[in-house]
């Protein structure tokens, strides 16, 4: 299996406009996950796009990325996710926020992510802080406590 080829298939089909694109997208996810390397999370993250026409299929990509926690542990998975953020912006900012909300809503993930983010490149760290603050400001009732815990 060729990672570059599968990644390109994922990118080329990420708008999910046709049944063929959906099948190509889903197969690329299966193929990349099947290679069983934590650093492939960065390749999977290239599949997100806010212009997609099929959100429910995109949630399959979220679940695929989250599945890496069971194999490689939360910290390793979240480190690879954090390092992928610059490649996801600006075209997938909505999905970046959804992924961060999922992290904020899960205490073990939130703690592991805070530990990971404290050690990443300063540009990535600043990006994560900005995203968490945007989430907190938009919905303080739901996210203020978890965001403040994360940011501390």
Provide the H-helix boundaries in the chain: 3-13, 19-34, 41-44, 55-72, 74-88, 93-104, 107-117, 122-138, 140-151
List the structure tokens of 60: 């399959």
Q: Is the pTM of this model over 0.75?
A: yes
Q: What angle do CA 107, 119, 71 make, to 5 degrees?
A: 55
pLDDT tens digits for 31-85?
A: 999 999 999 999 999 999 999 989 999 999 999 999 999 999 999 999 999 999 9
Check pLDDT > 90 for residue 23.
Answer: yes
Residue 111, both tokens: 């703690």
Taking only the tens place, the pLDDT of each residue in 110-121 is 999 999 999 999
Please, what is the average pLDDT of the chain? 97
Residue 131 · residue 97 · CB < 8 Å: yes
């Amino acid at each position: 299996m060729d990672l570059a080829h599968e990644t390109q298939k994922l990118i080329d089909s990420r708008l999910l406009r046709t049944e063929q694109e959906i099948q190509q997208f889903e197969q690329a996810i299966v193929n990349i996950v099947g290679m069983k390397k934590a650093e492939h999370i960065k390749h999977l993250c290239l599949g997100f796009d806010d212009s997609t026409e099929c959100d429910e299929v995109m949630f399959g990509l979220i679940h695929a990325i989250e599945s890496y926690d069971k194999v490689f542990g939360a910290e390793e998975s979240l480190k690879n996710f954090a390092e992928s953020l610059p490649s996801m912006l600006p075209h997938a900012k909505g999905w970046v926020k959804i992924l961060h909300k999922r992290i904020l809503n899960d205490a073990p993930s939130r703690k592991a992510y805070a530990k990971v983010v404290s050690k990443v490149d300063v540009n990535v760290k600043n990006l994560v802080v900005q995203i968490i603050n945007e989430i907190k400001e938009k919905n303080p009732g739901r996210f203020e406590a978890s965001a403040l815990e994360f940011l501390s």
